[in-house]
Amino acid sequence: MLNYNSFKELTLKGRYVKNSHIIPLAKQHASIAEITKIGSSVQKKPIYSYVFGTGKIKILVWSQMHGNESTTTKALFDFFNRLHHRDEVVFKLLSECTFCVIPILNPDGAEKYTRVNANNIDLNRDAQQLSQPESKVLLNTYKSFKPDYCFNLHGQRTIFSAGYSANSSVLSFLSPAHDQQRSITRTRKVAMEVIVTINNALKDVLPDQISRYDDGFNINCVGDSFQSMNTPTILFEAGHFPGDYKREKTRMFIYDALMTSFLCIANDEVKGDKYQSYFNLPENQKLFFDIIIRNVVSNDGELVDVAIQYEETLKNEELLFVPRIAKVGSLEEYFGHKEIDGGQNPILINNTGKIANSLTIINEISINGVDFVDKIAVS
């Protein structure tokens, strides 16, 4: 088996990935892909598709519909590189399937590192209204390509746990509903079965760290909308692996998950009758903060826990993880990706012991007079 590092796309790294990072990569794939500008964003940035393969099963994949969710884009370019190694696996994929991949659907959001597009619209709530050029590009591609499967690739925040557990949700998936009743139709079963296959392949390397999103129906979401048009649609969410704020480990797991799903489709293994264990996956819960400092004493003598969440802020082309207070109180039911025991000592945040339960940016922090700023930084 080929070593992942031998085809990992090294020019893409970290969390900030935008058009100017991927455009130079087109020429290295021109020999194996048809690369087309399929439209433009609000700010007239190009949106590209890469088409690979000649097979009859059509797979439509898009990433960075939310501009700041770049992990899956990195994994896609790893996949593109993998396709240059013309072994049996690649031969199977490209002879059974045709892939149409949109690496960055929301290039304006990617540039500014925002979820929304340049008009402040969440494209994943615009599937019916189609008010944005990016939404139209995706729907037009869907209509002309006529996919048998859709892969809707996203990234999730660090707050998610795999069920009610102290395990971070590293990967989560969803077979979206396609009606209010959340009926388990054949289309949904097929998508569920692909997710089951991924879980079976990855559960040993990610024990209890793979989960599923809740399936409340919202026709304005693109996945629900395509599913309701009877195309099995699989939502991927690249999540947080402990310590991996750059999402380089998760990127590798996403690559594995993509490859597993493409292969089971190419091998014609997905029939929609082995979906049941999808429901055994834990549902995502929001039990995590980036940091919890436990047992510290505020100005008014109260013993509290302080939860800190990083805000990802783009400054001079660099992504900063700015610590903010997220919650103060008794936080026994929550977990921190990092936990610090304050030993019932007094805490000072920005030189005040009055800890506002707000989004205060933490510039200075000390516990019992000892500076903790370095300890709360992303390492």
Termini Cα distance of the chain: 33
Smallest gap from residue 291 Cβ to Zn ion (A): 24
What is the distance of C-alpha 126 from the center of its chain? 19
For residues 263, 265, 267 and 268, what is the CA-based torsion angle, rounded to 10 degrees? 170
Contacts of 242 (CB under 8 A, 6+ apart): 168, 337
Smallest gap from residue 340 Cβ to Zn ion (A): 30
Smallest gap from residue 71 Cβ to Zn ion (A): 11
User: Which residue's CB is nearer to Zn ion, number 69 or number 224?
Assistant: 69
Smallest gap from residue 234 Cβ to Zn ion (A): 14
Q: How far apart are CA 246 and CA 356, in angstroms?
A: 29
Within a 13 Å sphere around the CA of 36, how many CA atoms are in the beta-carbon half?
10
Residue in the shown chain whose Cβ atom is closest to Zn ion: 154
Residues 30, 4, 167, 358, CA torsion sign: negative
Q: How far apart are CA 285 and CA 288, in angstroms?
A: 9
- AA identity, residue 177: A
Q: By three-state DSSP, how is residue 134 classified?
A: helix
Within a 13 Å sphere around the CA of 73, how many CA atoms are in the beta-carbon half?
30
Q: How far apart are CA 283 and CA 36, in angstroms?
A: 38
User: Which residue's CB is nearer to Zn ion, number 105 or number 328?
Assistant: 105
Smallest gap from residue 141 Cβ to Zn ion (A): 18
User: Which residue's CB is nearer to Zn ion, number 224 or number 305?
Assistant: 224
Smallest gap from residue 23 Cβ to Zn ion (A): 22
For residues 82, 87, 92 and 94, what is the CA-based torsion angle, rounded to 10 degrees? 50
Smallest gap from residue 266 Cβ to Zn ion (A): 26
User: Which residue's CB is nearer to Zn ion, number 21 or number 154?
Assistant: 154
Instruction: Give yes or no for a contact between 241 and 202, defined as CB atoms under 8 angstroms apart.
Output: no
- Tokens encoding 378: 């992303």
Q: How far apart are CA 185 and CA 376, in angstroms?
A: 47
Q: How far apart are CA 75 and CA 360, in angstroms?
A: 34
Smallest gap from residue 69 Cβ to Zn ion (A): 5
- Tokens encoding 118: 């340049």
User: Which residue's CB is nearer to Zn ion, number 69 or number 78?
Assistant: 69
User: Which residue's CB is nearer to Zn ion, number 311 or number 364?
Assistant: 311
User: Which residue's CB is nearer to Zn ion, number 168 or number 172?
Assistant: 172
SS (HEC) of 44-57: CCEEEEEEECCCCE
User: Which residue's CB is nearer to Zn ion, number 141 or number 156?
Assistant: 156
Footprint of Zn ion (CB under 5 A): 66, 69, 154
The secondary structure of 255-285 as a DSSP string is HHHHHHHHHHHHTT---SSS-GGGGGSPBEE
Smallest gap from residue 158 Cβ to Zn ion (A): 14
User: Which residue's CB is nearer to Zn ion, number 191 or number 266?
Assistant: 191
